[in-house]
Structure 1
Amino acid sequence: MSEIEAFDFQLARIISVIKDTGAKVIGLQFPEGFKRRSLGIASGIESETGTSVIISGNPCFGACDLDVALLNDVEILFHFGHAHLDDNKLSQKVYFIETRSAVDVKDVVKLAVPELRGQKIGLITTVQHVHKLEDATSILREHGKECVICSGDSKIAYPGQVLGCNFSAAREEMCDEYLYIGSGQFHPLGVSLATKRRVLIADPFVNELREVDSSRVLRQRSAVIAKSIDAEVFGIVVSTKPGQERMALAEELKEMAKKHGRNAYVFTMDLVTPDQLLQFKVDAFVNTACPRLAVDEVGRFHAPMLTPMEFEIVLGEREWEDLIFDEITGE
């Protein structure tokens, strides 16, 4: 199946929305994996509607990461690849195009059956495959497995959906293990770290199974904590992205540092990168922006980058064995 066939970009719906609203200036925002399709989609929209289309060239990490500057220049923004976040204050001008996958998951789920050790299986995936969870459930039940698809908190649009920063749909206490349907590594890794349960990845694009191994990440996180134990000056990083901004948490962490006789300063920025932080001479950073930063970019910052929970360990407010994965949760 070609890339064009694999995902539904809902061009007919987009054109219908534009005609119904009478909008003349349209914005398009894509995550990195879909940017290559942007020119064809923009061309189709312009030819069918006569509108002017502006494509966001900024990085996009999720529904939390709307291009706020582009929103000021367009009447409608179509945001691809993510589901609506309930707390997104700018969403009245935004249409979320979830870009569902047409790839069949049945074969890879059948492949997973003999590898599943437990009886009660939690099913999880991204928004691209949530409509396929019923197919997966049918197959597992045919092979004598019990399936659980949990609703998450208010940030989760669909039962069984997980985000890179929110694993609330994987909180079923009675699950023996989880089966993640999708191609990425970070989401199932986050579930493994958050739940301490075995997670098996069923990748429908290459019909392949992989078991999540979180040991390497845990060693990396332990090393970051160890390097920060004697730190005296901390930089607490806050993102200004609409769905990532956690200033209240940053202020709590700053007060916590003060209580323990350490110095802490709050830095705000849109895109958090090693280069952006290079000029700030601190002993360690604490990340309150996208939780993936500390894990994905480990070793790239000039000072250790801690999660809020790791910062608590450094200060003695939390025990090592109580380390949990950072999440941005809802109600």
Structure 2
Amino acid sequence: MATASPPPTANLWVVLTESKRIINAHSRHFLALSVLFLLPLCFSVTVFPSVSRLIIDQSSSSHNSVSLLRGSLPDGVVDPKTLLLLLFAYIVVVTVFNLLAIGSIAYSVYQGFYGRPVKLISAVRSSFASFLPLLATLISSHLIVFAVFLILGFAAFLLARLVGLDYASPDLSTVVMFISLAIVVKLYVKWILAWAIVVVESSWGFTPLKRSKSLIKGMESVSLSMILLYAVAQSCFVWISTVAASAQMDDGKLWTKAFFVFQIVVTSAVLTVLMLYNVAATTVMYMYCKAVHGELAWEIAEEFAREYVSLPFDDGKVPHLVSVAYSNF
């Protein structure tokens, strides 16, 4: 028989504090993982607007030259194959490094949460072992979101026909957009733990999504707060990169080129830190959700088989203790 103290009250600050503690305790390890997986990802996100603009400008100039000779192509025509190849390469690079980063960081945070040794080789091995399950889960989540969009689009189409609205009506489009956004946000609030579940519990596909929906009960506000926090912070820096790419940085002045390079370096570094803490906080919240549902105490008891086990929760005062009593019947 096992009795446990009530789980600590978890909020966004508690989750962020615990994730910061784990990262600081293994700073060189997480720095290595960030350089391996997150930095290429963030560099791609930062540079993509500039590279796409450069390729579009060059493609437009090339087509404009041809149109002057042949008189067949209008000004500003961009080769669609170039854009598709660029977009495909960008999606592949971002997806691959993102999933590898999740697999390695979630594994390391999970080990650090229990105070186990955190090794770089084991983390890298976990990233590759979790890649396909994470990819299958990502595809499963996108299928559900796509199905939601189809249902909403079909419902909007039927409503427009019944009421007699114009399909291209701005009011109808706005309503459908807000409803879609609300549903997608609600889904991702429920699914926030899925990526940690894939890494820790070795599940994939729709199973982690269902498991996350079950575990997150009672913690939806923390999940929503975390999503908004990191989404707003990361979007701001991506917006900065987009604005910098649209500005004229090729006027030949040295200070503008230096500023452009400085912006890429700073934005990539900040995005790397934000993504690192995002994955770490999500994994820590997964552990808190297990504690709230009474799963964590049993897991620690079975692993360490001790009479008293100290949980790595930190509420700013004293650590929480779990007392485990064993029965022979």
For the criterion TM > 0.5, the same-fold answer is: no
The structure with the larger Rg is: 2
Q: Which fold has the larger relative contact order, with Cα–Cα distance below 8 Å and residues 6 or more apart in sequence?
A: 2
